[in-house]
Amino acid sequence: MKQTGAALGLAVEWLKNCKSLFVLTGAGVSKESGIPTFRDALEGLWANYNPEQLATPEGFRKNPSLVWQWYDSRRQKVKDVVPNPGHFALAELQKMVPEFFLCTQNVDGLHIRAGSSDVVEIHGSISRFKCFDNGHVQTEVPYDLKDPPLCECGSLVRPDVVWFNEPMPEKLLKQSFTAAEKADVALVVGTSGLVYPAASLPFHAKQSGAKIIEVNPNRTELTDSCDLFLAGPSGEVLPQLVEGLK
């Protein structure tokens, strides 16, 4: 495993020759925007709750108002922050390689706000809503509601995120696996690699012949399987990669 200086040069080289780039991002890419990870956000008022209560269909059925208020607080947080240089670098990178696919596990919408297009939000989005029973899409959902509003069909409205114990959107998953398979380089940014099936995407890319570059200040479950590990925060490392490509 090479260290950042030499590794960075090699990563730039691979990206220069790359025809199809697959990018997987996780909570780490939004860290420098001040978005706490799901678990980090379980503090203060929320310290006594766990993911089963706040982010499962069962939790919502049991206490819809609690789950609604939790997501409202997360949504407010996201509204008040801005994308960081890591998000912007990925938006720039998209224009520098012939084929680019960005799959994010984040629900904060910051890649889109930074200018990335065709982002696959595999765990959904905190800014979109659907009804619990029938998946009817909802628009114009106000902040600060204490209880979930009702859909026209009578069902409660919920955030359009993928909760624990729920399947991933099949179409998006399929698109992501196809893109990973096609890629000659995969860039894995700010994810612990613990949550499947998203975490299997880099392995899939590798099995299909892609070189894997990981950007993370810490080693992860994925690090040993990567071809290059760029140690550092994505808000610093990704802009350096983009600079190297200019």
Residue ranges that bind ligand APR, judged by CB under 6 A: 26-29, 31-32, 37-38, 105, 123, 190-192, 194-195, 216-218, 220, 233-235
Supply the DSSP symbol for 224: G
To ligand APR, the closest distance from the beta carbon of 150 in angstroms equals: 27
CB of 127 to ligand APR, least distance (A): 15
List the one residue out of 137, 186, 175 whose CA is nearest residue 159.
137
CB atoms within 10 A of CB 139: 6
237: three-class secondary structure by DSSP? helix
- 137-138 and 120-121 strand pairing: unpaired
**The tokens 């029973």 sit on which residue?**
133
Residue whose CB is less far from ligand APR, 69 or 234: 234
Is residue 165 within 8 Å of 58, Cβ to Cβ?
Answer: yes
User: Using CA atoms, how far apart are residues 187 and 238, in angstroms rounded to an integer?
Assistant: 10
* Residue whose CB is less far from ligand APR, 36 or 149: 36
Nearer to ligand APR (CB atom), residue 19 or residue 219 = 219
Shortest gap between Cβ of 234 and ligand APR (angstroms)?
A: 4
- Interstrand relation of 99-104 and 120-121 (parallel, antiparallel or unpaired): parallel
Q: Which residues form the catalytic set?
A: 123
Which residue number has the CB closest to ligand APR? 28
Work out whether the CA dihedral 245, 35, 185, 170 comes out positive or negative. negative
Nearest distance in Å: CB 187, ligand APR: 12
